[in-house]
Chain A
Amino acid sequence: MNSSQRSSSGASLSPRSPSSSQPFLSVSVSDPVKLGNGVQAYISYRVITKTNFPEYQGPEKIVIRRYSDFVWLRDRLFEKYKGIFIPPIPEKSAVEKFRFSAEFIEMRRQALDVFVNRIASHHELRQSEDLRTFLQAEEETMERLRSHETGIFKKPSDLMQIFKDVQSKVSDVVLGKEKPVEESDAEYEKLKRYIFELENHLAEAQKHAYRLVKRHRELGQSLSDFGKAVKLLGASEGNALGKAFSELGMKSEILSVKLQKEAQELLMSFEEPLKDYVRAVQSIKATIAERANAFRRQCELAETMKLKEINLDKLMLIRSDKVAEAEREYHELKAESEQATKTFETIVKLMNEEIGRFQEQKTLDMGIAFHEFAKGQARLANGIADAWRSLLPKLEACSSSQ
């Protein structure tokens, strides 16, 4: 059941409450409020949960969360649910944060809303205890949890940084190994290549989408300037022609406004989904790294176990008194090894399911984005045609009076 719930406005929203008595978990992120001053400033969001899950404290709960809380949630899920593609969160963006423009805030809110909803719709992730904490805990508890978050690989992005190219030698150096131990699954290799190449393609598309937004703004600006200049020219001319010029100038300015509006729409409904797509792919790369890790660990343990077994046999042969200890160690190792294998196999199984889900989800997400993009462009073009067309009768009148 993969419904992608997107709330489309930043105003106070409530998640949908289905009338059926099926288990449901519905979340919304809304009402961004700027708190604090200067460098310390941050945005807080209202997170409203509606659910009938027994583990939850009640049918509805409202908490206040900030960006770093979402980051915490993501990190926890990444740690616990290896193999699952954890939904991505919007980038930290140190620069924009300081400006906190209305558009930035709205885009972030939207992205965070999508993030939480994807988790709430994922059949496994929605069961997470950390999710429950996130959705219900008091602010002080969250603050404590947030600041306690430690660990070498706190952020999946750090992990990704190190394992940027799974096949690169850098990772080997970090792990202190000369030659990486890799899976020899051909299909999986194909998938890895696909993911890495996909990221490049998407990044390029997203880059152009962002530029397109800028172009809309620039065209809007130049239409506005043009309109003003033409209006002045009209004032100079006087008479019917002068009026025609003035009207043209006015239409120009109207269209400038339309363009600015469309630029924002484009940013939110097209460029952002593309960026989201890129993030999702990066998240998969992180999972790929995790899988590589798990595989390596499994191999290491299997190796070590073999050595220990050989050693044990040796000791048993010479009837050493170290046999008992060695046996114990061997059994411990065997348990660890089995655990590692199980972990790895779980990741493999999950990934296979996730890939299918991911592709379907993305087809849906992009379908919506394309639809909105085309709608916006059509709307804009029609608006432009209408505005200019309305001038034609006046221009006609001018020429007949010549």
Chain B
Amino acid sequence: MMDSENHTTEEHLHPHPLSSSNDELENLNLHENNEHDSLLSTKSYSNYRSVMSTLSDSHNHPLSSPSFVSSADSDPLLSPPQHYREFTNPNSSDTSSYIDPPSYADAIFTSFDGETSSNGVDTPTRSSSDGIFFSRSSSSSEFLKITVSNPVKEQENSNSIVPGSSSYVTYLITTRTNIPEFGGSEFGVRRRFKDIVTLSDRLSEAYRGFFIPPRPDKSIVESQVMQKQEFVEQRRVALEKYLRRLADHPVIRKSDEFRVFLQVQGKLPLPTTTDVASRVLDGAAKLPKQLMGESLIAPSEVVQPAKGGRDLLRLFKELKQSMSNDWGGSKPLVVEEDKEFLAKKERVHELEQQINSASQQAESLVKAQQDMGETMGELGLAFIKLTKFENEEAVLDSQRVRAADMKGVATAAVKASRLFRELNSQTVKHLDTLHEYLGLMLAVHSAFTDRTSALLTVQTLLSELSSLQSRAEKLEAASSKIFGGDKTRSRKLEELQETIRATEDAKNVAIREYERIKENNRSELERLDRERQADFLNMLKGFVVNQVGYAEKIANVWTKVVEDTSGYAKEST
């Protein structure tokens, strides 16, 4: 099963310095609990993105048994745990998830939160990062819950006899929803990563101007890496996140592409991305027709951004246009005049920088907390060894007394270390919002690019139109001088006017498209602002509540030691 395999992979990949002494630790009677073995086996959190993935497949984090809870838990902030785990009603507008401070009971839950158990089966506890998406859901009672699980290696059928036939991994994608368009409440399909790429490409074509969440990266490494369980697991987590983000987007969640991806069994019925070369071969015949206004090409195709082989000519024309926009003396016919948009764009850019820097500092904060916890644990362990030693070798009572004092400190240090670790895994989840938004910035850039290229298309068509029209004028002027008309000329004129009409149509479509994209940009920016406010606020609350809760717990641990050693308090200060 994935679980146990993950154990070994992780422990192998992240050896912990204390693991050798863990056996010792197990035998010691820290009176509260005996679950020490994996307690102190941490994974190195060199960067917390990897933390996120390791968290989700963390094995049984042996938390304290309930007896651990300090009975005098008079924490005024404690209130009964709520919704994090409420899946059935993910739209509880209850954004108070982060106000609840971690009591030990909560703490047990929250650290289990990180484990979408590695086969992806959803535990009732969900990570708080998902909490963002759920609390923010649309005002209706719709929900769309996606799970990615069960990675399976499959072979390319055609190559079964050929040695080293390519294999790939498929994932089970299960959806639970009550959205009527899906015509079903629970279903699952198998998809491979290539399908995700296809979905992503189709979405970015169809939803230009929207902030479409970026898909997980392709991996450039060879298939050997694909075999590694850790990689597969990381990818599974990334895919799940991606699909959930898509499900969260108010427009995309309703899209045909998305629905088809989630629902249609067997091969994914979306056109796959074709590469430039094949398109060139394919579309060589159609080359001249693009942008020449021939009615054989539907105007709507014109509005798709130029790409690939068959659009080579168009690409060339648009490049020429954009160059003349930039350097040419002639002013482009349509200019990005929306000052408000430009100002917003500037703001977004600035925001991105701040988020980036905050997210970097968040990473180093997490690392520092992590280190603190580790060193505290090592200190505790060293004192435990000392205690044991003194007890075994004790000849005098003073040694026994000292051993007892030391044990108190050691126990406290180990507890504090554990608390730091929990604190940190929560911190990671909360501050991950910053990372999420950085990812979103990519989507924003992409949407702005859509707008720019749509504008470029419009401008290209406008100047094309204008040059066609002046040619027509010239032709008219020339032929009117010849009495009776010139047959070739008039034929040419007719053709030209035909072209002009087609180009006119294309221009209109392009302008409509551009306006549509502009509107998408605008509404998305509004949505971004709204949601970002909510998400960031939640992040801050979660972070702060978390810090308070754990700081209180740690204070309690040490206060007990202070009391126990109060006999040694200095008379003079």
Contacts and interface: CB of A to CB of B under 8 A. Distances in A.
Interface stretch (B30-38, B138-146, B326-334, B401-409): B401-409
Interface of B is mostly: helix
Contacts of B396: 355-356, 359-360
B544 A377 contact: no
A101 interface: no
A7 to B, nearest CB: 9
A201 B382 contact: yes
Interface residues of B, number: 68
Given A216-B372, A229-B361, A367-B405, A205 B544 contact: no
Contacts of B402: 359, 362-363, 366-367
A335 interface: no
B567 A367 contact: yes
Contacts of A235: 354
Given A229-B361, A374-B409, A208 B375 contact: yes
B380 to A, nearest CB: 9
A392 B544 contact: yes
A218 B368 contact: yes
Contact of B416 (A218, A223, A377, A385): A377
Nearest to B570: A368
B398 A219 contact: no
Interface in B398-427: 398-399, 401-402, 405-406, 408-409, 412, 416
Contacts of A16: 572
A366 B416 contact: no
Interface string A201-220: 11011011101100110110
Contacts of B300: none
Interface in A181-227: 190, 194, 197-198, 201-202, 204-205, 207-209, 211-212, 215-216, 218-219, 221-223, 225-226
Interface in A353-371: 355-356, 359-360, 362-364, 366-368, 370-371
A367 B568 contact: yes
A13 B554 CA distance: 36
Interface in A384-400: 384-385, 388-389, 391-392, 395-396, 398-399
Interface residues of A, number: 67
Given A225-B364, A359-B396, A367-B568, A244 B537 contact: yes
Interface in B533-573: 533-534, 536-537, 540-541, 543-545, 547-548, 551-552, 554-555, 558-559, 561-562, 565-570, 572-573
A159 interface: no
B383 to A, nearest CB: 6
Given A211-B375, A241-B533, A364-B568, A370 B408 contact: yes
A371 B389 contact: no
B202 interface: no
Interface of A is mostly: helix
A370 B408 CA distance: 9
A363 B357 contact: no
A320 interface: no
Contact of B541 (A6, A225, A373, A395): A395
Contact of A215 (B77, B368, B401): B368
B12 to A, nearest CB: 26
A374 B558 contact: yes
B24 to A, nearest CB: 13
A66 B548 CA distance: 48
B565 A374 contact: yes
Contact of A229 (B351, B358, B375, B558): B358
A23 B237 CA distance: 76
B385 interface: yes
A296 B350 CA distance: 80
Interface string B112-131: 00000000000000000000
A201 B375 CA distance: 16
A382 B555 contact: yes
A218 B545 CA distance: 23
B95 interface: yes
Contacts of A398: 537
Contacts of B246: none
A245 interface: yes
Given A215-B368, A374-B561, A392-B545, A381 B555 contact: yes
B361 A226 contact: yes
Contacts, number: 201
Residue among A197, A245, A399 with max Cβ neighbours from chain B (10 Å): A399
A48 to B, nearest CB: 16
B383 A205 contact: yes
Contact of B379 (A212, A382, A388): A212
A250 interface: no
Contacts of B95: 399
B525 interface: no
B229 interface: no
A370 B541 contact: no
Contacts of A284: none
A216 to B, nearest CB: 7
Contacts of A194: 393
Contacts of A37: none
Residue among B367, B389, B416 with max Cβ neighbours from chain A (10 Å): B389
B55 interface: no
Contact of A370 (B99, B350, B405): B405
A208 B412 CA distance: 15
A233 interface: yes
A399 B537 contact: yes
Given A219-B372, A374-B565, A402 B533 contact: yes
Contacts of B379: 205, 208-209, 211-212
Residue among A205, A207, A216, A356 with max Cβ neighbours from chain B (10 Å): A205
Contacts of A222: 361, 364-365, 367-368
A145 interface: no
Nearest to A369: B568
A388 B544 contact: yes
A371 B375 contact: no
A384 B547 contact: yes
B301 to A, nearest CB: 41
Contact of B568 (A198, A216, A219, A368): A368
B419 to A, nearest CB: 9
A16 B572 CA distance: 10
B357 A229 contact: yes
A342 interface: no
Contacts of B545: 392
Interface in B339-395: 347, 350-351, 354-355, 357-358, 360-362, 364-365, 367-369, 371-372, 375-376, 378-379, 382-383, 385-386, 389, 393
A6 B573 CA distance: 9
A205 B360 CA distance: 33
A381 B398 contact: no
Given A363-B399, A381-B554, A370 B547 contact: no
Nearest to B547: A388
Interface of B: 77, 95, 99, 347, 350-351, 354-355, 357-358, 360-362, 364-365, 367-369, 371-372, 375-376, 378-379, 382-383, 385-386, 389, 393, 396, 398-399, 401-402, 405-406, 408-409, 412, 416, 533-534, 536-537, 540-541, 543-545, 547-548, 551-552, 554-555, 558-559, 561-562, 565-570, 572-573
Question: 7 smallest A-B Cβ distances: which pairs?
Answer: A367-B568, A381-B555, A374-B561, A385-B551, A378-B558, A371-B565, A208-B379
5 contacts: A194-B393, A201-B385, A208-B382, A215-B375, A366-B406
Given A198-B389, A205-B386, 6 more contacts: A229-B360, A237-B351, A363-B401, A370-B565, A371-B568, A392-B544
